[in-house]
Amino acid sequence: MVHYQTRLDTTFAALSDVTRRGVLEQLGGSEASITDLAQRFHMTLTGMKKHVSILEQAGLVTTQKVGRVRTCKLGLRRLEEEAAWIERHRQLWSARFDALDELVEHLKCKEKADARTKKR
Amino acid sequence: MVHYQTRLDTTFAALSDVTRRGVLEQLGGSEASITDLAQRFHMTLTGMKKHVSILEQAGLVTTQKVGRVRTCKLGLRRLEEEAAWIERHRQLWSARFDALDELVEHLKCKEKADARTKKR
DNA sequence: TTTACAGTGAACCATATGGTTCACTATCAA
DNA sequence: TTGATAGTGAACCATATGGTTCACTGTAAA
């Protein structure tokens, strides 16, 4: 599905930035205002606002403005799709390398056997 | 560590493109040449070469050129770090939302109870 | 020995990204 | 009412990204 595709696109893109991953870690600990985050990551308010917007767009963060301060917290998306994608591919990987693993194992045994033969 | 950071950066960035995820899926099935991949994804050789290079850079793919054809296969990196990062944050999420979950559960129960009350 | 094929690299292009400054609005506090 | 504070939006900038074309190299095949 296209939706599924673009979803992974935007989430992985969101996660590909150090600052944004940092913001997520921060919000995992406690909520924070834009100002808080901007200070913690040595950035202008405008810059941080952009990052927060991107995270919000990806559903990873939700925000609420009360008075003049906008409070950010972790969003409802829990990276299920991303975890699933990665997990699926770790399995592909494994399947693909099982043969190799066996070969390596086989070679190791052969090595041992050869060593033993040599000794004699 | 900075290395750890840039590593996640490049991998997540590599994964944030539909074509590249597609290439990984493809290579999970079987090896392929640049030409194969370029055709399958309706792209010039040069374009596909770039994608492959990015995946190779991220350690997700390895290639070998024999004769005039370069064969691509899955690399040795199995997305451990990425899986770990995501898992860690799913836990953060959970911790943060346990209270919410309980609330939701409570509301569901209440709903059921209400429904039952209504029936009578 | 041509000729066709697979890949490569440089140059180019449009758009996206990560950041800034500056001018503005809205709100809180004195 | 007058500042100071928090955020927003537009404009701008440098660099990165995803793609192309074109000219080139090396290899395979006729």
CATH number of the domain encompassing residue B25: 1.10.10.10
Please identify, among A57, A74, A91, the residue that sits at the C-terminal boundary of a domain. A74
Q: Are residues A83 and A70 in the same domain?
A: no
What is the pLDDT at residue A91? 86
Q: Are residues B32 and B58 in the same domain?
A: yes
Q: What is the pLDDT of residues A74-101, one digit of tens each?
A: 998 888 889 999 998 888 887 766 655 5
When CB atoms are compared, the residue of B74, B86, B97 closest to A86 is B86
What is the pLDDT at residue A98? 61
Q: Do A15 and B12 touch (CB under 8 A)?
A: yes
What is the pLDDT at residue B102? 53
Distance (Å, whole) CA B108 – CA A83: 27
What is the pLDDT at residue B80? 87
C-beta of residue A18 within 8 angstroms of C-beta of residue B5: yes
Kindly report which amino acid residue has its CA closest to the C1' atom of nucleotide C26.
A68
Contacts of A38 (CB under 8 A, 6+ apart): A44, A45, A47, A48
Q: Do A13 and B8 touch (CB under 8 A)?
A: no
CA(B76)–C1'(C8) in Å?
Answer: 25
Supply φ then ψ for residue A65, to 5 degrees. -105, 120
- The residues of A between 49 and 108 with beta carbon within 7 Å of nucleic strand D are 49, 65, 68-70
Kindly report which amino acid residue has its CA closest to the C1' atom of nucleotide C8.
B46
Kindly report which amino acid residue has its CA closest to the C1' atom of nucleotide D16.
B13
Q: Are residues A18 and A70 in the same domain?
A: yes
Q: Are residues A34 and A62 in the same domain?
A: yes
Is the distance between the Cβ of B50 and the closest atom of strand C smaller than 7 Å? no
Confidence of residue A118 (pLDDT cuts 50, 70, 90): very low
Chain centroid to CA A39: how far? 24
pLDDT over threshold 70, residue A108 = no
Q: Are residues A52 and A25 in the same domain?
A: yes
Q: Are residues A84 and A37 in the same domain?
A: no
Q: Are residues A68 and A86 in the same domain?
A: no
What is the pLDDT at residue B120? 41
Q: Are residues A92 and A65 in the same domain?
A: no
Q: Are residues A14 and A45 in the same domain?
A: yes
What is the pLDDT at residue A120? 41
Q: Are residues A46 and A31 in the same domain?
A: yes
Mean pLDDT within A1-28: 87
Q: What letters, b where the CB count within 10 A reaches 16 and e where it falls short, cover B47-68?
A: ebbebbebbeebbbbebeeeee
Supply φ then ψ for residue A84, to 5 degrees. -65, -45
Domain extent for B42: 2-74
How many structural domains is chain A composed of?
A: 2
Confidence of residue B93 (pLDDT cuts 50, 70, 90): confident
Q: What is the pLDDT of residues B11-48, one digit of tens each?
A: 999 999 999 999 999 999 999 999 999 999 999 999 99
